[in-house]
Amino acid sequence: MNDFDISFSPAIYNRRENDYIKSIQIDHILVAPSGIFLIETKNWSVKSLQDLNLRSPVQQIKRTNFVLFKLLNKEISNSHLSLGKHHWGDKKISIKNLIVLTNTRPKEEFQYVKIVTLNELLSYINYFKPVFSNYETKRIAEFLLEINNQKTIET
C-alpha cells in the first residue's frame, strides 16, 4: 500500500510519549507472510541528514507503528481480524519499521527502526521467516486497505 493516510476522532493517546495522535501518514506498508513492514522513504543528502530542522523520520515511523499495533490488536481482541490460533496463546503482530534512504544513510543505528538503502531493502525483507499464513496475510492487508479507505476512524 502506498501513501497510507488516516485520521482519528478523537485522537489516539500514546501515554509513553505523552502524544495525542490525530493522524498518521506512511509512505508504504508491505504486508507479507514475514510480517508487516512500515516503510518511510527519503531522498536526503548528507546535508539533509544533518539538518536539525527536518522532522525525524524515526519519530514519525514509531508513531505510526504505535497506532497500527493498537488498531490491529483491537481488531484481533474483538475477533474481527482472526489470525490462526496456537494452543500457547495469540499470535504476535509483527510490525517492522524501515526507513529507506535512496542516497546515503547515517552511520548511527536507532532503536526500533532499521535504516537501509534502497539496494539493501529486498535482502532485509527476505531475511525474515514467515510468521503469517497466506490467509492471515490477506486478512491483515484487507483490514489495512479498509481503514485506509475510510480516511477517518472513530476511536
Backbone angles phi, psi at 16, to 5 degrees: -60, -40
Give every CB contact of residue 121 below 8 A, 6+ residues apart in sequence: 39, 98, 100
Per-residue model confidence (pLDDT) at position 88: 74
Lowest average pLDDT, out of 34-38, 73-77, 140-144, goes to 73-77
Structurally, the chain folds into a number of domains equal to: 1
Amino acid identity for residue 7 in this structure: S
- The boundaries of the domain holding residue 41 are 2-154
Of 9 and 84, which is predicted with more confidence? 9
Average pLDDT over the chain reads 87
User: Looking at residue 95, what DSSP letter applies?
Assistant: E
What tens digit of pLDDT does each residue of 78-131 get? Answer: 666 767 666 676 677 889 999 998 877 778 888 899 999 999 999 999 999 998
Indicate the pLDDT class of residue 6, thresholds 50, 70 and 90: very high
* For range 65-86, the mean pLDDT: 77
Query: What percent of the chain has pLDDT above 70?
Result: 86
Element of type H or E holding 77:
helix 57-77
23, β-bridge pairs: 7
Of 62 and 108, which is predicted with more confidence? 62
pLDDT at residue 8 greater than cutoff 80: yes
Which three three-digit cell numbers place residue 112? 526500533
Query: What percent of the chain has pLDDT above 90?
Result: 54
Q: How far is CA 143 from the centre of its chain?
A: 14
Of 37 and 79, which is predicted with more confidence? 37
